[in-house]
Amino acid sequence: MVVGGGPTGVEMAGAIAELSRWTLARDFRHIDPASARTLLVEAGPRLLAAFPEELAAYAGDRLRGLGVAVITGASVDDVLPDAVVIAGRETPCGAVVWGAGIRATSITRALGAPVDRAGRVSVGPNLAIVGREDAYAIGDCAALLQDGQPLPALAQVAKQQGEYLGRVLGEHGGEHREPFRFRNRGNTAVVGRNAAVFDFGKHRLRGRVAWLLWALVHVYLLVGFEKRLLVSVQWLWRYLTYQRGARLIR
């Protein structure tokens, strides 16, 4: 069971479904892959709330095609040793993967500034903590509104904020002229083999082309030529052979 239908939950549910379909079948002859059940539970009305509806619908269809049971509009209230409680009803399950978000480190609450639901501390346009012009917060622990919307807790936001703050502190010693502005380079989620969604704002991609682009971007973002080459070769090998180790020794 995967809790949360954002990019993390969608990617996880797709990966588990593929593992049970391809890897279990080959590695464990006594396990019937058809008996493996993957459930994805989302509290909101649809998957991938941050993506356009058509891409979210595509992701849902792909997951269902992989055998994932998708439940939307129902929140997980409790996680028990062998079950989860979904909208008041106990559903037995063997393993639970939490993909419904994280909470910022508790130190943000000690700063005396307002925090949002996820414990992120409010910052102004120059990333200074609200009410404390001598301290700054960036990345996942900072809540910044841009055009009235909170910026998502994403690596590209954290990276751009780090670069901005380093630059303006170096140049102006804290006397910031221009406010921080996040430039969205696109949101993506991979749904499984040959299937991904990519949202660039005006342009949208889905399917194999989006999946290839997803792989290229992730390889490009790795540090150093050696790592890029190594990961590319490993991915290509796994793609061609369907090999994805799922053997755990306990």
Ligand X SMILES: Cc1cc2nc3c(=O)[nH]c(=O)nc-3n(C[C@H](O)[C@H](O)[C@H](O)COP(=O)(O)OP(=O)(O)OC[C@H]3O[C@@H](n4cnc5c(N)ncnc54)[C@H](O)[C@@H]3O)c2cc1C
- Residue 129 CB-density burial (10 A; 0-12 exposed, 13-18 middle, 19+ buried): buried
d(CA 249, CA 27): 13
Verify whether residue 90 is a known catalytic residue: no
At its nearest, how many Å lie between ligand X and the CB of residue 34?
29
Which tokens is 25 given? Answer: 């079948």
Per-residue CA distances from 202 to 58, 156, 197, 199 (Å): 18, 19, 14, 8
Contacts of 71 (CB under 8 A, 6+ apart): 39, 40, 41, 42, 86
Of 41-49, 67-75, 99-107, 237-245, the segment contacting ligand X by CB under 6 A is 99-107
Query: Is the Cβ of residue 140 or residue 199 nearer to ligand X in the bound state?
Result: 140
At its nearest, how many Å lie between ligand X and the CB of residue 106?
8
- List binders of ligand X among 127-186 (CB under 6 A): 139-140, 153-156, 158
Query: Is the Cβ of residue 8 or residue 20 nearer to ligand X in the bound state?
Result: 8
Query: Is the Cβ of residue 83 or residue 154 nearer to ligand X in the bound state?
Result: 154
Q: Which amino acid belongs to residue 1?
A: M
Query: Is the Cβ of residue 34 or residue 107 nearer to ligand X in the bound state?
Result: 107
Half-sphere exposure of 209 (CA within 13 A, CB side): 6
Residue among 34, 50, 87, 107 that touches ligand X (CB under 6 A): 107
Residue among 31, 34, 80, 102 that touches ligand X (CB under 6 A): 102
Query: Is the Cβ of residue 27 or residue 159 nearer to ligand X in the bound state?
Result: 159
Question: Whose CB is nearest to ligand X?
Answer: 139
Q: Map residue 195 onto helix, strand or coil.
A: strand
- Residue 181 CB-density burial (10 A; 0-12 exposed, 13-18 middle, 19+ buried): exposed
Q: Does 100 bind ligand X (CB under 6 A)?
A: no
Q: Map residue 75 onto helix, strand or coil.
A: coil
At its nearest, how many Å lie between ligand X and the CB of residue 190?
9
Binding mask 58-87 for ligand X (x = CB under 6 A): ------------------------------
Residue among 1, 8, 15, 68 that touches ligand X (CB under 6 A): 8
Contacts of 167 (CB under 8 A, 6+ apart): none
Catalytic residue numbers read 11
**Would you tell me which residues interact with ligand X (CB under 6 A)?**
8, 102, 105, 107, 139-140, 153-156, 158
